[in-house]
């Protein structure tokens, strides 16, 4: 069965309020299959909400409200995928004391489908990260970090394909250049491969060889950089097959997606929802049979 992308509906959800919403696909529902993408990034061990005296985000963020909202959405929507774009770790005493265990266990309870690796996932080294992976019921995906010479060998996926109602969704992940950012002792013998070149390679493979209907990049590169480092905008403009980039690292709040034409002159969307669990992103893709 062949599908084509019909319509994209964006909803960015604050934990407790809706910024913008579109209620349904504008076509006969019998003709459509809707895939709902939920996403987070840069939680930074913010398990509890920000304290009441926080200047910017009093009493919001954290895991409990997110979990309740995800549960509510899953009751409303038939086909839901939940992703995270990295930096799950570091930022509160929970990480200092428990090294990532509660974060991954709670995400497992929320039934995340996949996450990519942020730079702070290396804060306690690859060995400790490997231990903490035992607490995750979901895969970590990284396409440009080569872990073949580390304890993480065979524990991190280069990509994953999800199939929902005959629609194939290919997902890959990109991590930031560790040079000057991640302690070499923590990064260990991990090999960094150029993010843009790997994005071209994996997205082409997912689209051309595996015939994915939707290609999603989980990116911890950052939205955009002033130096020559390639961020999400750079990836979008210089590749052909990526439909959606779920970004992280720069803590960017995007109330609507950035829409850019790629090398194939088709549209790539970039989304990111800040940090600390303040927002939960929701994006609906609707497919119609030809």
DSSP 159-223: EEEEEETTEEEEEEEEE---TTTS-HHHHTT-EE--HHHHHHHHHHIIIIIS--SEEEEEEES-S
More confident residue, 146 or 286: 146
- In this prediction, residue 30 has a pLDDT band, given cuts at 50, 70 and 90, of low
Q: Is 68 helix (H, G, I), strand (E, B) or coil?
A: helix
Strands (E) in the chain, as ranges, are: 3-14, 17-20, 32-40, 80-84, 114-115, 145-146, 159-164, 167-175, 191-192, 214-220, 244-246, 258-261, 267-271, 279-289
Least confident of 21-25, 68-72, 138-142, 248-252: 21-25
More confident residue, 38 or 4: 38
- CA–CA gap between residue 242 and residue 177 (Å, rounded): 20
Number of domains in the chain: 1
Supply the CATH number for residue 190's domain. Answer: 3.60.21.10
pLDDT at residue 228, as a whole number = 82
Counting every residue written for the chain, the total comes to 290
Q: What is the mean pLDDT of residues 120-144?
A: 98
Q: What is the mean pLDDT of residues 140-163?
A: 98
Residue 63: CB partners within 8 Å, gap ≥ 6? 43, 46, 47, 48, 106, 110, 277
- CA–CA gap between residue 160 and residue 210 (Å, rounded): 11
Which pTM does this prediction carry? 0.92
Q: Which domain holds residue 213?
A: 3-289
- In this prediction, residue 4 has a pLDDT band, given cuts at 50, 70 and 90, of very low
Q: What is the pLDDT of residues 189-245, one digit of tens each?
A: 999 999 999 999 999 999 999 999 999 999 999 999 888 889 999 999 999 999 999
- CA–CA gap between residue 207 and residue 274 (Å, rounded): 29
Q: What is the pLDDT of residues 38-90, one digit of tens each?
A: 999 999 999 999 999 999 899 999 999 999 999 999 999 999 999 999 999 99
Average per-residue pLDDT for the chain: 90
């Amino acid at each position: 069965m062949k599908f084509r992308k019909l319509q994209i509906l964006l909803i960015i959800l604050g934990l407790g309020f809706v910024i913008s919403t579109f209620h349904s696909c504008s076509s006969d529902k019998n003709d459509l299959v809707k895939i709902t993408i939920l996403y987070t990034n840069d939680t930074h061990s913010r398990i509890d909400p920000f304290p009441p005296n926080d200047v910017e985000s009093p009493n919001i963020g954290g895991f409990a409200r997110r979990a309740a909202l995800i549960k509510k959405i899953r009751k409303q929507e038939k086909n839901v995928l939940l992703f995270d774009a990295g930096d799950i770790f570091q930022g509160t005493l929970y990480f200092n004391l428990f090294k990532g265990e509660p974060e991954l266990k709670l995400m497992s309870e929320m039934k995340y489908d996949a996450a990519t690796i942020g730079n702070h996932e290396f804060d306690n080294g690859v060995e400790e990260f490997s231990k903490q992976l035992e607490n995750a019921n979901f895969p970590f995906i990284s396409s440009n970090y080569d872990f073949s010479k580390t304890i993480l060998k065979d524990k991190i996926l280069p990509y994953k394909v999800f199939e929902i109602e005959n629609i194939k969704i290919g997902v890959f992940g990109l991590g930031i250049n560790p040079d000057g950012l991640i302690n070499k002792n923590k990064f260990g013998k991990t090999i960094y491969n150029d993010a843009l070149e790997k994005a071209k390679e994996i997205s082409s493979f997912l689209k051309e060889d595996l015939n994915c209907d939707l290609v999603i990049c989980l990116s911890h590169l950052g939205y955009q950089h002033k130096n020559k480092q390639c961020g999400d905008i750079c990836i979008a403009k210089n590749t052909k097959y990526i439909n959606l980039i779920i970004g992280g690292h720069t803590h960017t709040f995007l109330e609507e997606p950035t829409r850019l034409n790629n090398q194939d002159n088709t549209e790539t969307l970039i989304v990111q929802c800040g940090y600390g669990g303040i927002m939960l992103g929701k994006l609906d893709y609707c497919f119609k049979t030809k």
